[in-house]
Structure 1
Amino acid sequence: MDSRWLESGLRLHEAPQAPVRALVDLRRVVGPVPNLRGLHVGDMEIDLVKKLDTVEASVRTEAPTHPARFVETDMARLKEECGATCARFGFEASILETDDAPGVWREEGFSYLSDAITWGERHGVHIVLDMHNAPGRAFGGDPRLWRDVRYQDRFVNLWAEIVRRFRDRGGIAAYELLNEPEPPDDDYAVWNALARRATEAIRAIDPQRPIIIDSIGYANPSKFDGLQPTGDLYTLYSFHNYEPSAYHCQKRSWIQDQNTYYYPGDVGGRYWNRRELLATFGPALEFARRHRVPLFCGEFGCVSDCPPMTDMVYLMDEISLFHELGISWTMYNYMQIHRDPFWKEHFDCNCYILYPPEDKLYRFDRKVALVRFFAQAEGDVLDPLQPEDPNVHICGVRRRDGWTSILVSNKSREQEKHLALGVSGLCRGIGGQRMVMDATTDGWGVPAPVAHADGWLDLHLPRLSITRLEFPVTAPWALWGFRG
């Protein structure tokens, strides 16, 4: 196993004690970009995924054992187009073992996981093995795993078998024990005990490969108060974030509230901006600070029916927070397959939609371009002072090749902005380039040269836009001022 994953992907981070203070505390050098950066992938055939509405149905029904398969061209696309360093690979326990034959391993399922790991190794994408559903737990209220020790034994034994087969594979980034655990009545004790049992079984076979443990309440960041660390030195603790939910889920057919919401903006009587996103992570950050453990955000994102470009500035705020806080991340979701033509223009949370009647792949260009920027970031997280204008935010990274990449967002829907940005260490006589993403562009716009005068870059920021700057820096650098 590559030791870099332990040194950087699991680096400890002194998270702030209070979310509001974090805005001040972050104004310092925050260390290297976290190593796990990518997308969630899994069952892509949406028509096959059964959402179980009742406990009775979930006891009778298992997730499909032959989902639409992720293939090597998908892995290549993750690397080449999305820049991913890792893929959170969701799999159903039922592809490895069924209720009809407990303890009898389904070799075709293990071969599928092995193929995915091989493709990742071939294309430079590390795999988080994410058990999306477990024996006795069909997502959506199935109580068997939480109340029947026989299913708990099967869960632990299955993880031991997975690790026994794949412990020597260098392409595995981590073992994620269970996606979004939801024990009845928020029973912390049963999940804490089960996670500890599974960790002990894994460590008896693989002493150091990272393990990921989700908080309960569907990996809710507010539920870290009852989560107990296992004491394992190579474990990350995970949360998911889809807040504010009325913004993230807007216009979905099953949502009663069909209002249009903006980011930043008022959602449900609360003004949501970067500060509020940070406050949402507060309990997870406090847990990390108290126990000195690393964090992972395994799912986040927003639907494509958000007002154009509000989704991009939302995602920029969220991912830049992850980088500043040292939190590894995988965004939801890579791709789904739909046969309804509605989805050719409505991507939901996905970067790609495959439409079988045309055998055609549709790509959400702006989202792919933004994910690629952050996923490809290698180097030190940029630590700028911020303008007083809350609608303008700056983030970026000093790359290992001596160049610096900066994003500057204008989150205002009404006003263009003009900003003179002072940067020390710019190469005299050498300019950089500027690209703009807004509602009129597919990804980044056409590169244009950007000149500087005595270290000042004059920027025009269109309404609801993200401006990308790339320029060489030779001296120790810092963003050091604004004017105008």
Structure 2
Amino acid sequence: MKSIRKFLLPLLLLCLTASAAPLKSDWKLCRGATLETRDGKQYLRVVIRPEEKEAMNCAEAEFDLAPWADSMVELTIRARAKGVSAPVNYYNGVKFMLNFTDETGKEYWNNVVRLDGTFDWRDISFAALIGRPGKKSLLKLGLQESSGEVEFDLGSLRVTKLFGAPAEPYTAVYSDTVASAPQFRGVMSPVRFKAEDFDTLGEWNVNLVRAQMIRNWGKAGTDRDLGEYDVWLDGMLDHYEKMFPLGYRKGIRFVIDLHTLPGGRYESGEMAMFHEKEYADHFIAVWKKIAERFKDNPAVWGYDLVNEPSQIRRAPYDYWNLQRRAAEAVREIDPERPVILESNGWDAPETFRYLAPLKLKNIIYQVHMYKPGAYTHQRVKVRDGRLKPGEKPIPYPGKIAGTDYDKEKLRRDLQPVRDFQKKYGARIYVGEFSAAIWAPGAADYLRDCIELFEEYGWDWTYHAFRESPVWDVEKAGTNRGDIRPAADTDRRRVLLEGFRRNKVN
């Protein structure tokens, strides 16, 4: 990699408040890369032959991320491509990447994905959560695992702040009923309940169930037909209206969880309703309907507006404001019942760094805990769940993806949520946490999580009860073909130990 000196790129860092800061950076060129000036504009062109495609062929430049600390940003640049071959991995091909470390030295790679072939000049973009930047910060442009040609308009690069921590002070407000409510400990629901499920949950001493309305999980381009969506949703609401009294008689309260949203998700994982008005408006209408139907139902503890929101670019109906609109609509119908807000990035703990509190009464803030994903989700996306030849299972505690993981590392992962709780006086609810049944040390992982939740006074529900066998504490197995019922597992015992803290039903 050779350095081009005195060829400096002015990067205009533009945020939503219209403030701008120039930044100059030397570009280090890679194989096949040239810098060109045409009509007063600077361009980076990378041409890679087929025999050279296996490597990362990217030019790179350093720049300062400090102005974007504790923010989610969108990086955008204009590019065009010609004959870029399809890469083996979806995250390679045309490469527009931000590679940086945080203050602890942990390294991050954020970039565009699924981009190859031929296309004319257009904006390409991705989002990154910056957190607390460390020493390394590199912008990379080029190709990886692909041959062909790509060109970037360097003057078009923009860094836009999507979300940042609010500056003004605020203290969450809770009614006496919500503030004095006991700590809740329970489970996520099956896709559909059976009456006998509540006998088991009663025996376990569960006092909360997150009732998920879910279909098409993991699929893109679904739930576009709103008429058909409403038929499905009404059927789920009918089901829960019949089931809730059975649980309520056992001392169980319910969170209504809209797991599948109108318009579904794009291939990127983003919700369509963040970008398409038809689905955004329907989302509000759905919550008005749910609130009208359940406002007088004593079994319902709260309304969980959006399961695992994901917004990775600018959106006209962004994840926070759309939830705000829904909460305000619910409040007009049901003034007191808790409304549950989820954070961005699939409700990840780190996104609480830039989460703004909602200035309404009785707002509860939900987080999902699956860190580290390399451990909790090991082989979950493998069709048969089997280890590859020579592959070893990942144990907990231990070194996971290069990081030493134990209870104290989990504590550090959850620290942004704890900071949010203390800063705003917010009630925190862990809506999901789990580990695959074949993950070595899963019981220890669950115990460490629960001990942290209890230390912080957070409500929690385990994912999940009699839903997917991969997470079922009443089953055991080393792969999908080996899963079998198990009368007693160490994971089940950990949960029951936690549920014993509930008041006796």
Give me the TM-score of the superposition, normalised by structure 1.
0.59
1:6 matched to 2:178? The reply is yes
Identify the residue that residue 92 of structure 1 maps to in structure 2: 214
Identify the residue that residue 367 of structure 1 maps to in structure 2: 491
Looking at structure 2, the residues matched to 232 and 158 of structure 1 have their Cα atoms a distance apart, in angstroms, of 20
Kept in 2: contact 1:42–1:91 (CA 8 A)? no
Looking at structure 1, the residues matched to 287 and 429 of structure 2 have their Cα atoms a distance apart, in angstroms, of 20
Identify the residue that residue 112 of structure 1 maps to in structure 2: 239
Kept in 1: contact 2:273–2:317 (CA 8 A)? no
Identify the residue that residue 232 of structure 1 maps to in structure 2: 360
C-alpha distance after superposition, 1:333-376 (max 9, x if no partner):
11136xxxxxxxxx522123599xxxx95445322222111112
Alignment of 1:186-201 (within 5 A): 190-201=318-329
1:106 CA displacement? 6.2
Letter matched to residue 190 of structure 2: G
Taking a change above 3 Å as real, the CA distance of residues 186 and 224 of structure 1, as seen in their structure-2 partners, is farther
Looking at structure 1, the residues matched to 316 and 348 of structure 2 have their Cα atoms a distance apart, in angstroms, of 13
Alignment of 1:171-182 (within 5 A): 171-182=299-310
Identify the residue that residue 116 of structure 2 maps to in structure 1: none
2:226 aligned counterpart, secondary structure: coil
Larger Rg: 2
C-alpha distance after superposition, 1:395-434 (max 9, x if no partner):
xxxxx9xxxxxxxxxxxxxxxxxxxxxxxxxxxxxxxxxx
Looking at structure 2, the residues matched to 133 and 102 of structure 1 have their Cα atoms a distance apart, in angstroms, of 10
Kept in 1: contact 2:280–2:317 (CA 8 A)? no
Alignment of 1:241-280 (within 5 A): 241-252=369-380, 254=382, 258-280=391-413
1:40 matched to 2:212? The reply is no
2:313 aligned counterpart, secondary structure: helix
Looking at structure 2, the residues matched to 75 and 115 of structure 1 have their Cα atoms a distance apart, in angstroms, of 13
Alignment of 1:395-410 (within 5 A): none
Identify the residue that residue 125 of structure 1 maps to in structure 2: 252
Identify the residue that residue 213 of structure 1 maps to in structure 2: 341
Looking at structure 1, the residues matched to 233 and 377 of structure 2 have their Cα atoms a distance apart, in angstroms, of 36
Letter matched to residue 178 of structure 2: L
1:266 aligned counterpart, secondary structure: strand
Identify the residue that residue 396 of structure 1 maps to in structure 2: none
1:163 CA displacement? 0.8
1:242 CA displacement? 1.0
1:77 CA displacement? 1.2
Kept in 2: contact 1:333–1:350 (CA 8 A)? yes
Kept in 1: contact 2:257–2:305 (CA 8 A)? yes
Greater RCO, CA 8 A, separation 6+:
1
Alignment: residue pair count: 314
Taking a change above 3 Å as real, the CA distance of residues 370 and 354 of structure 1, as seen in their structure-2 partners, is closer
2:318 aligned counterpart, secondary structure: helix
Kept in 1: contact 2:213–2:236 (CA 8 A)? no
Taking a change above 3 Å as real, the CA distance of residues 232 and 164 of structure 1, as seen in their structure-2 partners, is same
Letter matched to residue 110 of structure 1: L
Letter matched to residue 187 of structure 2: L
1:252 CA displacement? 3.8
2:444 to 313, 321, 324: 313
Identify the residue that residue 352 of structure 1 maps to in structure 2: 474
Q: Which has the higher helix share?
A: 1
Taking a change above 3 Å as real, the CA distance of residues 201 and 274 of structure 1, as seen in their structure-2 partners, is same
Letter matched to residue 301 of structure 1: S
C-alpha distance after superposition, 1:194-230 (max 9, x if no partner):
0110000110011111111111111111112332211
Looking at structure 2, the residues matched to 172 and 133 of structure 1 have their Cα atoms a distance apart, in angstroms, of 19
2:464 to 329, 333, 355: 333
2:467 aligned counterpart, secondary structure: strand
Looking at structure 1, the residues matched to 180 and 443 of structure 2 have their Cα atoms a distance apart, in angstroms, of 27
Taking a change above 3 Å as real, the CA distance of residues 160 and 105 of structure 1, as seen in their structure-2 partners, is farther
Structure 2, unmatched stretches of 5+, are 1-174, 217-222, 478-483
Letter matched to residue 169 of structure 1: N
Looking at structure 1, the residues matched to 316 and 392 of structure 2 have their Cα atoms a distance apart, in angstroms, of 35
Give me the TM-score of the superposition, normalised by structure 2.
0.57
Kept in 1: contact 2:275–2:317 (CA 8 A)? no
2:292 aligned counterpart, secondary structure: helix
Structure 1, unmatched stretches of 5+, are 10-33, 44-68, 338-346, 380-399, 401-484
Identical amino acids, percent of aligned pairs: 26
1:180 CA displacement? 0.3
Identify the residue that residue 292 of structure 1 maps to in structure 2: 425
1:70 to 193, 208, 224: 193
1:100 aligned counterpart, secondary structure: helix
Taking a change above 3 Å as real, the CA distance of residues 252 and 92 of structure 1, as seen in their structure-2 partners, is closer
Looking at structure 2, the residues matched to 194 and 232 of structure 1 have their Cα atoms a distance apart, in angstroms, of 14
Looking at structure 1, the residues matched to 425 and 320 of structure 2 have their Cα atoms a distance apart, in angstroms, of 18
Identify the residue that residue 283 of structure 1 maps to in structure 2: 416
1:202 matched to 2:333? The reply is no
Kept in 2: contact 1:181–1:214 (CA 8 A)? yes
Kept in 2: contact 1:186–1:217 (CA 8 A)? no
1:169 to 286, 291, 297: 297
1:83 CA displacement? 2.0
Say which is worse superposed, 122-131 or 247-256, in terms of deviation: 247-256
